[in-house]
Amino acid sequence: MLTDITHRKDIEKLVNQFYEKVQANVLLAPVFIKVDWAKHLPTIYNFWSSVIFGEQNYFDNPFEKHINLAIGKEHFTQWLKLFTETVDQNFVGSNADEIKIRANTIAEIFQHKMGLLSNQ
């Protein structure tokens, strides 16, 4: 039976499973090939814990980390597909719904700032 995202350990589980999928994905893996995952994953845990639980432990600018990556709209589409799939495979509830909404919003903002969305 699936439960909601209620603790940091849930965030860690989600992030770990999601980035395993990213690293195995033919489109996304090359983009993140140089990432030091052991160093980067705790930062991502902090980011999502801040977003979902209001923890005050993330102090970076996530957009700056992605602006110079060679990514297009198709990368965001695939990233969101894998993220949503991972959430849905592991969790159900208001925080699970919220994290998917936030991921979509963040992806939309990033794409807008990168000029990947049309103005229509």
- DSSP-assigned letter for residue 91: B
Q: Is residue 13 assigned to a domain?
A: yes
Segments in 25-72 forming alpha helices (H): 37-53, 62-66
Q: Which tens digit of pLDDT belongs to each residue from 30-61?
A: 998 989 999 999 999 999 999 999 999 988 88
Of 24-28, 46-50, 109-113, the poorest mean pLDDT is in: 109-113
Q: Is residue 24 assigned to a domain?
A: yes
Q: Is residue 77 assigned to a domain?
A: yes
Residue whose pair of structure tokens reads 């432990």 in the numeric block:
57
115: left (phi over 0), alpha (psi -120 to 50) or beta: left
CATH number at residue 43: 1.10.490.10
Total count of domains within the chain? 1
- pLDDT for 41: 96
Q: Which tens digit of pLDDT belongs to each residue from 79-89?
A: 999 999 999 99
Domain enclosing residue 24, as ranges: 8-113
Q: Is residue 17 assigned to a domain?
A: yes
